[in-house]
Structures are given as structure tokens and as C-alpha cells.
Structure 1
Amino acid sequence: MRSAAAEKTSRMETPAALAMVGLALLVRVCVSMGPYSGMGNPPKYGDYEAQRHWMELSAHLPPRDWYRNGTNNDLSYWGLDYPPLSAYQSLAHARLFLLPFSPDSLALRSSRGYESPFSYCTHSLSLPSLYLLLSSDLLIFFPAALSFVYMYQAAIGRRQRSGDGKADDSVVTWHLAMILFNPALILIDHGHFQYNCISLGFTLGAIAAILSKKDLLASLLFSLALNHKQMSAYFAPAFFAHLLGKSLKRQSPVFEVFKLGLVVLLTFTIVWSPYLYSMKAVMEVLSRLAPFERGIYEDYVANFWCTSSILVKWKILFSLHSLKLLSSGATILITLPSMVQQIKDPSDLGFLYALFNSSFSFYLFSFQVHEKSILLPLLPATLLALREPQLLGLIMHFALLSMYPLLCRDRLIFQYAALLALFVLIFFRINGSHIKKKESSPAILKFLMTMAMCCSFTLHYIYMILQPPEKYPFLFEALIMALCFSQFAMLTVYTNMKQWMLLGISSEILMEKKNI
């Protein structure tokens, strides 16, 4: 049951929350009216074609053939490379939305590159893809966002009774807006065309469950996130450390860990049941989920390996096996401090910082990171918006810049500018006074941030207007990634420090409650 504070917040904020949801849906519809990944660009098109092709495969082939190369499933042409739950989603979308209304779009083999005459106006008309994405938002991501905001405010309400802090209606609405109007997520899901809202929605639901002390439900929801997109593992160290830390502080820690492990095991068993008949079938799926042969990074991404490759040619100097060990070791090393803090002193706020630090560590140092993976650390950044508004503003700006080359290729510049402007308007219109009350930053930090912003705006202009030198065709991309990485590296140092500063605070709050 929700606390009295959560119920009070819910009653106060229901009209505003519904209005926010309606506006967020409208924005998503407007973005979907633009171009999409690979539009009119044969032979492989882009992510839009990948989503359509996966619906085609799941609708016509049995599950055991979804990840297996064959006559009707050429893995070199957008072979399925997400876990089984993502494939089940494709199957459900195919049967509910496409086969009844547009069967030609999913004809086995002959529908490759399917684009209706409406495709060049909007992908939401070429297929009922608008309903697919909006249904995913409405059924999973939006309810999870609402649950989180209410649970977060319930925690603040409990502290209010001990005289710590005050939340008002506009703050609650603003917090919800920061989650729902994340421009990077909207651009990738409704412009570029993916379904990140599902895995992120499951993760967000799991976070809300932890805030409401429903750890078994959190384990179930996060297991679903892992089984929808393997990149959800970016959050796994934070979930593991927090739940382990809480279990170790209870009367029967072994039994608590056993319960959590049992929920995870049962969830994975059910989702993977079509492939558990043989080890070969399991390995066929796993080999698609971890395509190491693609190299340590693809395209240009604002992480350590891509940025430093300007000076160190990692792919030439090191074998694939060595790079896997290097990236794994670096990721574990950078993630470990955050995990130790949560095992030692688990707390709700510390958990949110741990989610950010864990996902950012994976983005910066793990193997095979895509530019779109920045969506993962952006999620906890929006959740920490009330606590760290400057952090959210900074990472959102440079996250969008890091995806700018991709969005330029997708011809989503207008949507990019419009969503960024909308986000900035909401960010400062409601929260401006809150930001000003924060302690002022040192002069040197203000200077560095000003310089970084000036460089960012300059690179936006250069990339769109100028042509790079023939000798260095990807010079502008490299400069963009180097700038973004420099900001991301500073942010991860800052948030790790902030997380460790929480050490002992949760214990003090618990003692205060016992004395009330």
C-alpha cells in the first residue's frame, strides 16, 4: 500500500500529471511525423527496418528459429540481437497491430525494405508504428514514471514530518516533466525509431518498487528489463549492491538473498523457456546478444575507447580478447566504489546515485557501446533532477550533442532543436528559482563550463555548415566526442563523490525515526 504522503501527493497532482502525460504524448506524435532511421536508404535501411523485420520474423517463424541463421532468417540482414522478451514484443506488435491492418508489410522475405507511399511523409502513417510506440509508452514507461514520482515524494513526505524539507505541487509536476520530456529518449524512440521506453520503463518501475520497499517486485521488473534489452545490465551493479546491502542488514540475510535470487531465476526461466531444450539453442541466443566481432566500439561514441583512439589505436595494437579484458577490468574498477558504498550503507538516495554511476561507468568504459547508450545514464539523471538540477542540465546538453551526428544523418535537426528548446523552457520556467538557491560554483568551474558550452555551440554550427578536410573526413565527429567525453568524465567523478558523501546519512535518519 502507498503511504499517506503518496496518497496526498496523488490527489493533489492527478490533474497536473494527466495534463503532463497528454502533452508528452502530443510531443511524441509530432516527432513521429518526421524522418526516421534509414528512410529511403537501401539496401539495409536503418533501425526502422530492423524493427519491422523482427516483427516479420517473429510472426512467421517459431521461437527456436528466431536467432538461428536459415533460409528465412538471414542473420546478416538485421538478425535479431536482443533478448527473447524483445522478440515477444515484436510478435505481439505484429499480431495486434500490423498483420490485421497491413499484412503486406510483414510478408516473409518479400517485405524487406517495405515503405508505403506515406513513408516519406511520416513513419507513423506508413505502418501503425505510432500505435506501437505510444502503447509502449502508455502501458509501461508513463505508469512507471508516475509511480516513481509519487514514491519519491512519499519519501520526502516522511522526512517532512521530522522537519526536513518541503515539497510543493509545482516541484512534483516539474520532476515528472523532466522524466517524460527527456529529449534524447523521444528523439531516439520516436524519431530514430526504437523501443527503449520498454526496457527503461521496466527499470524505472523497479526503481519505484525499491523506493516503496517492494524488493521482490523490483527484482521481477528489473529481470524483465534485462530480458528486453541486454544494455539494461548497465544498471545491474547498482541493483545488486543495493539489494545485497539491504539483505545483509536484515535478520535472515541468506533467506533474503535466496528470495531475490529465486524471483530472478524464475523470471529468466520463463522468458528463456523456448530455448532451454539444449545448450546449443541457448548459445545461439547468447552469441547474438554479445557480438564481440563488431569491435570495442562502432561509429563515433563519447566514451574512453573511441575518444582515446585518436592517440592510441586500440583495434590495431590489441587483440579482441585483450580488449575484452581491458574494457571489463576498467568497467569493474570504475563501478566498484559505487557498489561498495551501497553494500556498506544502502539508502534510497544513494541507490539513485549508484544507478547513475553504474550506468555511466558502463557507457564510458565497457565493450561495444553505441551512441544511443547514453539514454541509460540519462534515466537516473532525470530521477535525480530535484537533487541535482545542474547535473541534469549539463548531461542532457552533452548527451544530445554526442548524438548530434546520428540525428543529422536521420534528418532530425528540426526535431532536435525543438525538443531541446522545449526542455530548456520547462527546465528554467518552473525550476529557475530553485536553481538560483543552490550554492554558487567556484569561478574556475564557471569559466570551464562556459568554455565547454561555447565549444558545444561552435561544433553544432561547424558540423552542420562546414565540410571536413578530405584527409580527416571524421574530424568534426572526433572533436564532438572528445568534448562530450571530457564533460562526462568530470560528471562521473562528481557523482561518485556525492554518493560517498551520503555514507552514514541513512543510518542517522533511521535513528531519528526511532527517537520520534
Structure 2
Amino acid sequence: MEHPNQEKPLKSTEKHTHLQNPHRHVIKDLVWFSLIATFFKLLLIPAYHSTDFEVHRNWLALTHTLPLSQWYTDETSPWTLDYPPFFAYFERFLALFASLVDPTITDLYNGLNYKAPSVIIFQRLSVIASDTTLIYSVYNLTKNMELKKRFLIWILVVWSPGLLIVDHVHFQYNGFLLGILLISLGALQNGNDLFGGFVFAVLLCFKHLFAVAGPVYFVYLFRHYCRGGIVKGFGKLVTMGTVVVGVFMAAYGPFAYYGQIQEVLRRMFPFGRGLCHAYWAPNFWVFYILADKALASVLSKLGFHIQPPTASFTGGLVGDSSPFAILPTITPSVTFAMVLLAISPCLVKAWRNPDPKMIVRQVAYAYTCGFLFGWHVHEKASLHFLIPLAVVAVESIEDARHYFILSIVSVYSLFPLLYEAQEYPIKVTLLLLHVALMWFGFSESGSVSKNGGLVNRWIVRMYLVGFVVVEAWGQFLHPLVFGDRFPFLPLMMISFYCALGMMYSWIWQLRCIVRSP
């Protein structure tokens, strides 16, 4: 007699369908999962949006109105085009539909600061639609994983509060770009090096800031793909080089034809913007700046004459003056050297043992180095390593604990982007919900043992409690104590406190890279 709970054998037709498409149930689950995420993204359409919203609207108008030869020379508005050509082509593609929805959206001369419901809805929906790239990349990376780990990665990536804050409130297209990165990494993990290199080249032509991982890609592909003897290896090197050069020619070729490569590069690399962004990204330079200010204060009290800085950390022309009173001036070349030096252990490992299982960690580590030591880093750049690390967060207890802390640090560091009062409940709710989902997800996935837990050290517990203290000071105590004075102090506290967590993450990742085979 058949047991009522016994799984019934598949019929012949069901077996045939299952063998034909073994991942069909995964696709179905991800579709429903993504639809839920889309529902919440739609609820955020009326939320606050930054100046980036007008920047991208202007790029729609610019690419729609002007011939290609004027895209990187036009100065009709302050929001000049400063992304690589593939992103400009992407904006031109979107403009085809925007002009049909509302012609004013793509009006370069009369549409400045246009805020009609039509433009808001269209641009919000364009970000949601472009997230299909991210969804596909997550499916491709997780389709062969066990159910619990697969769902956890979906939660960490598709429901990432950082992406919701930056893309669907603040307004950008990071999910689309990170989806391209994950497609490339998925190809490398599966041994499809040529396609992985091709997709990464495409990504660089969408957003050049992803080039920080370029050295890792070069060393890994040279050692892993271009192997097999001198003749065969050289042939593969030529093949890869041809593919990459072909991608860059497709992107930059038209502008080379017009003799505008210098204008394009000048827009893409505006080194005159200063060492830090307007709101300090929580990286190494926070400690350097605060150390300079502390030394200047101490020496002044000791009777030394200290010349106050004549330049800003967030602007001014490089070389004209120094924003530092005591410590040496930092230039773009110094940050470039520091990033390359920080990445070097990863390059050595990739050279000695180009392991596909390590490539995601190595690329994430490279982006962490770029974030910590780079020039004029935006706080949003933490997503470049946070999202890839979600893929490896389910591999061990240590990975889960590290990601739990890092994701809290990264998301909290984005809070100042949403500075209006009506958005405060949104960002707090997103972070708290994310923490709860991580706690439950890591526990259920088996990544964290029942005895170990996610927070197993008192210093980690104290650090996490510190976020409550920092937030309470900035939101409630600072206005009571200082009123309107020292408005930058709460932001500085967030930068400093999150920078501690970022430095911890970098050291932890470096240890994993060094200890890897």
C-alpha cells in the first residue's frame, strides 16, 4: 500500500519535460520573487530623487536631439555627459520611447528640470525594466545551488536595500550595470572565459569605474584562458585581444572618427573634482583627513603657526593648492599607486593559481581596494563589492558573518543620500527588514550553525550597537545640543564609523585571499 506522504513517481511525459528543462521551477520561483520586488519598487516611484534624476533626463534629451559628434562637447546644461559611449547609446535607446511618452522629456532646450509625472514614471520604470539584467545574472549564478542558498542569494541581491535606495529612490542604474558584472563572473565560474572577458569589456564601455578590477581580469584570463603551450596560448591571447579591442572600437570608434577621444576621456576622468566626494565615502581617506585636522589643532594649541587649508577636499583643481594643513597632499597618481599596491596580493594569487572558484572573491576584493584608496570615490561604489560578495556569502560561517556586518555598514553609509524627512522611515525600514531577512536566511540556509550565530564576538556586538548611537546622535541629540551649528558633524560621524567597518572588511577579505590555495 502506498504511503500517503510518499512522493509519486513522475509520469513519462513529466520525466521528459523535467529532463528537457530541469531549471524551469527555478525560473518560475525567481519570476514570482522578482514580481514581489517590482511591486515594492513601484511603491517608491513618488519618493525623493536626487539631481541624478535630472542628469539622466538631460542625457535622454542630449542623445535624442544632438548628432553623435556633439554628445561629449555639448554644454547646454550643467549635466554634461560623462559616462562611456555604451551608456550614451543606452540613453539614446531609452530616448526613443521617452519621446513617444512625452516629447518634453527629450527637449534639450526647454526641458531643463522637467518634473512632470510622465518623466518621473518613465524614468522610474526604465530602471525597473533594466533590472531584468540583474535578475537574469542571479538566475545564472544560482540555478545549480540548493534551494535555501539560492533563495538567500536572491534576497541579498534582488531585494538589496542598497540598490533600492540608490537606484529606485536616489536614482541610478546600478542594478543594470551590476547585472552585467555578475553575468561576466558567472561565465568565468563556468569556464567560459572568452564570453566572460567579452562581457567585462562591454561593462567597461558602460561605466569606466568598474575598471578597478581590470588587472584581476587580465591576470586571471592570461593564466587561465591563454594556457596550453606557446602556440595555442598565443592564439587564445590574440582571440581575447581581438574580442576586447572589437568591443572598444564599437564604443569609441565613432568618436575617434570625429577626433573627439580627448574630449570623451576628459569628461570621463575629471581629476579636478578633488580627493573626496561631497559626502565623504567611508574609506581610508576619512582617517587621513581627520588625522590632518587633529594634528593641525594640536600643533596650533602648542603655539605653532598652522596655515589653514585653501582648498576643499571635494573640489578645486588638483595641484593649485592643498586641502591639508599638515599631512602631504594626495594626488590622483598617489591613489592609483595605493589601489594597485593593495590589489597586488590578489594578482599574485590569480597568477599562481587561476581558480574559477575564487574569481568572484578576487574581483570583489579589487573593488574594495578601489573604494578604500581611490580618488573621489562615491559612497554608492560600495555596491560594486557588496553585491558580488552576496554570491559567496552562503559558502561558510565566516562568509556569512562577514557579509552580515558589511551589508549593514554599506547600507547605513548610504543613509545621507536620503536626507529629506519623508524618506527617513523608508531607509530605516529597509535596513531593519534586511537585517531580519539576513538573520533568518543565514540561519535557515545552514551557513551559520546554531551554536555559532552571526554575531559571535562581543566587539562585533558593540560595533553594531554603535550604529544606534551614531544615528540617535545625528537625528535627535545633535540638534538639541548644537542646533544649527556644525551641520557636517553627523555626516562626519557616519563616515568615520562606517569607515571602521569598511577597513575591517578589507582586512578580512585580504586574509581570505592570502590564505587561499
- SS of the counterpart of 1:302? coil
1:78 partnered with 2:90:
no
Summarize the Cα distance change of 1:125–1:6 in structure 2 as closer, same or farther, 3 Å threshold: farther
**Equivalent residue for 1:162?**
none
**Equivalent residue for 2:449?**
437
Summarize the Cα distance change of 1:99–1:180 in structure 2 as closer, same or farther, 3 Å threshold: same
**Equivalent residue for 2:142?**
149
**Equivalent residue for 1:88?**
89
- TM-score between the two structures when normalised by the length of structure 1: 0.84
**Equivalent residue for 1:49?**
54
- Measured in 2, the distance between the counterparts of 1:397 and 1:342 equals 29
User: How do 1:353-368 and structure 2 match up within 5 A?
Assistant: 353-368=361-376
User: Cα distance, 1:6 vs. partner?
Assistant: 11
**Equivalent residue for 2:466?**
455
Gap regions ≥5 residues in structure 2: 1-17, 294-312, 314-321
1:33 partnered with 2:46:
yes
1:475 partnered with 2:489:
yes
User: Cα distance, 1:9 vs. partner?
Assistant: 6.1
Summarize the Cα distance change of 1:126–1:247 in structure 2 as closer, same or farther, 3 Å threshold: closer
1:13 partnered with 2:21:
no
Check whether the contact 1:174–1:430 (CA below 8 A) recurs between aligned residues.
yes
Deviations 1:281-333 (A, max 9, x none): 00100001011111111122101113421122674249999511211111111
CA-based RMSD of the aligned residues comes to: 2.6
Check whether the contact 1:307–1:481 (CA below 8 A) recurs between aligned residues.
no
Moved more, 466-475 or 129-138: 466-475
Which of 381, 389, 392 lines up with 1:373 in the alignment?
381
Summarize the Cα distance change of 1:384–1:32 in structure 2 as closer, same or farther, 3 Å threshold: farther
- Measured in 1, the distance between the counterparts of 2:258 and 2:333 equals 29
- SS of the counterpart of 1:310? helix
- Code of the residue aligned with 1:84 in structure 2: it is P
- Code of the residue aligned with 1:108 in structure 2: it is L
User: Cα distance, 1:500 vs. partner?
Assistant: 2.6
- Measured in 2, the distance between the counterparts of 1:237 and 1:189 equals 28
User: How do 1:122-201 and structure 2 match up within 5 A?
Assistant: 126-138=120-132, 140-150=133-143, 153=144, 168-201=146-179
The number of aligned residues is 462
- SS of the counterpart of 2:442? helix
Summarize the Cα distance change of 1:405–1:131 in structure 2 as closer, same or farther, 3 Å threshold: closer
Identical-pair percentage: 21
**Equivalent residue for 1:512?**
none
- Measured in 2, the distance between the counterparts of 1:235 and 1:410 equals 37
Deviations 1:245-282 (A, max 9, x none): 21354333222222212111000101112201254x00
1:316 partnered with 2:323:
yes
**Equivalent residue for 1:351?**
359
User: Cα distance, 1:409 vs. partner?
Assistant: 4.5
**Equivalent residue for 2:15?**
none
- Measured in 2, the distance between the counterparts of 1:289 and 1:408 equals 28
Check whether the contact 1:82–1:289 (CA below 8 A) recurs between aligned residues.
yes
User: Cα distance, 1:419 vs. partner?
Assistant: 2.0
Which of 458, 478, 484 lines up with 2:498 in the alignment?
484
- Measured in 1, the distance between the counterparts of 2:427 and 2:450 equals 29
- Measured in 1, the distance between the counterparts of 2:20 and 2:270 equals 46
Summarize the Cα distance change of 1:384–1:105 in structure 2 as closer, same or farther, 3 Å threshold: same
User: Cα distance, 1:8 vs. partner?
Assistant: 7.6
User: Cα distance, 1:195 vs. partner?
Assistant: 0.9
For the pair shown, which has the larger CA radius of gyration, 1 or 2? Answer: 2
Gap regions ≥5 residues in structure 1: 38-45, 119-123, 154-166, 504-516
- Code of the residue aligned with 1:126 in structure 2: it is I
1:301 partnered with 2:281:
yes
**Equivalent residue for 1:235?**
213
- Code of the residue aligned with 1:132 in structure 2: it is S
- SS of the counterpart of 1:481? helix
User: Cα distance, 1:441 vs. partner?
Assistant: 8.6
Check whether the contact 2:220–2:350 (CA below 8 A) recurs between aligned residues.
yes
- Code of the residue aligned with 2:433 in structure 1: it is L
